Structure 1
Amino acid sequence: MKLSTDDKRMLEDLCRENGVSAEKVLKLLDTVRDYEFKERRTGIYDALREILKSEQGART
């Protein structure tokens, strides 16, 4: 997901304040965007669940 410099800085600040990984949030947003225009969104919850479970991009 392409973000402006200001948006990226804001996301990183918010994630840091809340103990959330910015990389993980970006992965979640990318996944939602990938499913956005599909007629059926079968599998989206499984995909999101896998991202949340993953160690990569865990809390910073």
Structure 2
Amino acid sequence: MVCANVCTNFVKSGINGMDISPPTLLIGNDGQVRLAVPNVIVVDFSVDNIKIKVYVGLYK
């Protein structure tokens, strides 16, 4: 829901082309993920001492 609200706000601001994909949960060490987009933003944060990485794919 958070992503949907963000996309809605971007469209209202004149930024079009937002696309939401279902979230993927990966658990383990040394895993690799490849996104089919040219640019990726990685957001690191912690919730209740659980480290979380959110990957946001950017494309035109």
Structure number with the bigger relative contact order (C-alpha 8 A, sep ≥ 6) is: 1
Please report the TM-score for the alignment, with normalisation by the length of structure 1.
Answer: 0.33
Q: Which has the higher helix share?
A: 1
Q: Which has the higher strand share?
A: 2
Please report the TM-score for the alignment, with normalisation by the length of structure 2.
Answer: 0.33
